[in-house]
Amino acid sequence: MPNHIHMIISMDNEYCVNLSRIIKQYKGSVTKQIGYSIWQKSYYEHIIRNEKEYYNIREYIQNNIINWKHDKYF
């Protein structure tokens, strides 16, 4: 949808990486580039637990643009 984004972030267990920090830095970078914030305060996360789920989610993201016309905010 044009009012949100989807991402698949791969995290290596070898490093202590904080997902909220990654999201905060991404939002901050985009905000700085465009000059104002477009973000809501929170975000939704989901842990992909197996390959089948990964492919289903990847397909959903790839096909998401088709559904833009059905979004009431578009």
**Residue 74 confidence (pLDDT):** 61
**Domain residue ranges in the chain:** 19-70
> Given the structure tokens 């949100």, which residue do they identify?
4
pTM: 0.74
pLDDT given at position 24: 94
Higher pLDDT, residue 69 or 21 = 21
pLDDT at 13 over 80: no
pLDDT one-digit tens code per residue, 20-64: 999 999 999 999 999 999 999 999 999 999 999 999 999 999 888
